Homo-oligomer: A and B are copies of this chain.
């Protein structure tokens, strides 16, 4: 065998990209970089003022052959990447649904990256699988899911990267379940159901799974129902489809829709779906986290948006795990092993789209362990309290109105129309659009919009980890201060 590459240019002792001393030094530098970033977090505009293509003007067109000292790379990131970031952790970020984060999650994620297990099945890293099963059982207990969703009862939970993946996996399982019952030639007869408030991931999952567009029922909701899906509407749709010889297969209910945090009546929808043997999936990507607090539990019947774990940590629970795994399992020779054959272990590759997977459970474990459930509850309640305060301030200003009553930590509001009728509504839409632009262009805060029941609405979502009452109050002052001028400018 030859000796180590003599052409190595990184270090006199050879190219050692995992040298412990280098890692220690570089990691500590990175930690200090992050601390500096967080010290100045409020000084960055929340949304960057960059034009499309800005980064290519700052960095070379081609990769360089030579290494660059680590400190210089960090400086380059500071000078080129940070100015183009939308700062999701800035406490003045009130857009979309904010992404939460914590020191425990960051440390857990770093540790998971350092261990770097490719834990596709139990054997490939037993601790990864077992910690995931256990922490999902913990979280299921905390949000008081029915016992059937625990591993001991034949159910179980898995961490997925995104909500879309969770929807897609259950849709595939539902298809198999229904086709097995109906005979395998009915794929084009499968019908799926959701409300017009359901997240776009549902439509995307249907597209990927190959559900015919004609078989996707998007059921309208109404403002008087607070935009929740009515069980009688679902029943009518399913009855019509069944009478037409189609196969009702899948209902996607939502607890906490993206537009307005509307809550579908899960138990009643499940009762309707049950009569037709359809699968019910509940998308609670945002509001599921609130169910760690008993007072929000009645809305449910997952934590990456609101439980401090950072991105890439979407919880999916199923009542009958065999239905999921039989629809997604593969069994190539090179992964065969005795543990799998024993039937005693969970192989998470059969619960997801991918084969390999990150050790996502470690950050969730460290969050739950380091903070305890009492602090997670206090964190949720604090966000909800701040949103309630914002809602009260909106309601107290007669120029504004809360369009949909707040349930969690999202306030949907607008400037009221100044006259009744369609023209008044159109004027109000234009004025609110202008107001949001003015407020966002100030750089001070960032909020986004939706259109719901035909009305243009400003969404004010409280929830970054660093947001305090003072940020919420200042944001409201900004909306108030810009309101009249925005109205005039828009007309």
Give the residues in chain B near A333, CB-CB below 8 Å.
259, 449-451
Number of interface residues of A (CB under 8 A): 171
A105, A370, A371: most-surrounded residue (chain B CB, <10 A): A370
Q: Copies per complex?
A: 2
Instruction: Indicate if A477 sits at the interface (CB-CB under 8 A).
Output: no
Instruction: Indicate if A109 sits at the interface (CB-CB under 8 A).
Output: yes
Instruction: Indicate if A218 sits at the interface (CB-CB under 8 A).
Output: no
CA distance A20 to B110 in the complex (A): 17
Give the residues in chain B near A334, CB-CB below 8 Å.
96, 258-259, 448-450, 459
Q: Are A27 and B118 in contact (CB under 8 A)?
A: no
* Contact among B33, B84, B354, B374 for A65, CB-based, below 8 A: B374
* Contact among B31, B102, B123, B469 for A18, CB-based, below 8 A: B102
Q: Which of A47-55, A234-242, A418-426 contacts B (4 or more CB under 8 A)?
A: A47-55
* Contact among B28, B115, B366 for A31, CB-based, below 8 A: B28
Instruction: Indicate if A262 sits at the interface (CB-CB under 8 A).
Output: no
CA distance A387 to B353 in the complex (A): 32
Residues of chain A from 211 to 264 with CB closer than 8 A to chain B in the complex = 211-212, 258-259
Q: Which of A68-76, A274-282, A315-323, A479-487 contacts B (4 or more CB under 8 A)?
A: A68-76
Q: Closest chain B residue to A113 by CB distance?
A: B109
Q: Are A369 and B73 in contact (CB under 8 A)?
A: yes
Q: Closest chain B residue to A68 by CB distance?
A: B369
* Contact among B5, B105, B165, B172 for A378, CB-based, below 8 A: B5
Please judge, given known A-B contacts A64-B373, A330-B200, whether A134 and B55 are in contact too, CB under 8 Å: yes
Residues of chain A from 194 to 210 with CB closer than 8 A to chain B in the complex = 199-201, 203-205, 207-210
Q: Are A332 and B126 in contact (CB under 8 A)?
A: no
Instruction: Indicate if A139 sits at the interface (CB-CB under 8 A).
Output: yes
CA distance A382 to B136 in the complex (A): 41
Please judge, given known A-B contacts A10-B375, A126-B84, whether A103 and B138 are in contact too, CB under 8 Å: no
Please judge, given known A-B contacts A18-B102, A35-B23, whether A54 and B126 are in contact too, CB under 8 Å: yes
CA distance A335 to B200 in the complex (A): 10
Please judge, given known A-B contacts A35-B24, A138-B62, whether A17 and B465 are in contact too, CB under 8 Å: yes
Known pairs A48-B126, A63-B373; list 4 more (Cβ under 8 Å): A18-B101, A22-B103, A201-B354, A204-B330
Q: Write 27 A-B pairs (CB below 8 A) sorted by A numbering.
A: A10-B375, A17-B379, A18-B38, A23-B35, A27-B110, A52-B339, A54-B130, A63-B372, A67-B372, A67-B375, A73-B369, A77-B362, A81-B127, A81-B362, A84-B130, A89-B115, A110-B110, A163-B355, A199-B332, A200-B355, A201-B354, A201-B355, A208-B328, A210-B211, A258-B334, A312-B356, A353-B353
